Structure 1
């Protein structure tokens, strides 16, 4: 497995809408393995293809503490959502920045698994939040876009400041 480079905000590719994936391939299977390896190493609980400069509709998530419940979805979509939950989110493309985001608490998700089969399943709480966060990336959206203008500006300012400190 290969550790991939995670692109950082404000990389333009993070704002692009990703292309659908027509079918599962051996190359995509390897990419999924590399994405999980990169996500676990970061460490994170979710990673979307545009975060590694691949403009395709692919996400990987694993909210387990033991990293033993991996979920890979191609062309994921939310079919239904209900409820409301507020969760403090972060992003591997904006390390060190966290903010409280309100999202649906329960979702029904459809996508293709790594075996190439269409699947549907329900997700709630943290898993629902994580999947929605990663699907947002596929649509050119980041968690900071769910914040008020002032909170978003502060988060961006804090992130830019942290990058400058790392460079010096």
Structure 2
């Protein structure tokens, strides 16, 4: 089985009415629906799982110091093979919507739409962690995936 995961950062400034009035309902160069999109794959997997309210231990090094940081309130998307587990790790607070479909040959297509109104880090492919949960010492060496002015940031509970 194969899983294709589409990850998109929604553009909160997108106007469907402009798209309808001037572009037959489609996005345009000046009115984009998504700020960015990426596609990740789990190939030759035996199982596909979505874990909600999950926890992840982030292991990292700063210089010669090995550290670990526990991150809570995650959705973890897993593809498991006999060789191990592949994961996509996402803070629940930045998830706008998800949609899972299965193709006739039992492959999985999973769409993950992320909010654009909460700052988060994307330190590696498949990891999207809100800034407030990301280790402070890693924030100094990792660029934000989003850059919302703190006055505009809206954390939804």
- What band does the TM-score fall into relative to the shorter chain? under 0.3
**Which is richer in strand?**
2
User: Which is greater in Rg?
Assistant: 2
Please give the TM-score of this superposition, normalised by the length of structure 1.
0.26
**Which is richer in helix?**
1
Please give the TM-score of this superposition, normalised by the length of structure 2.
0.27
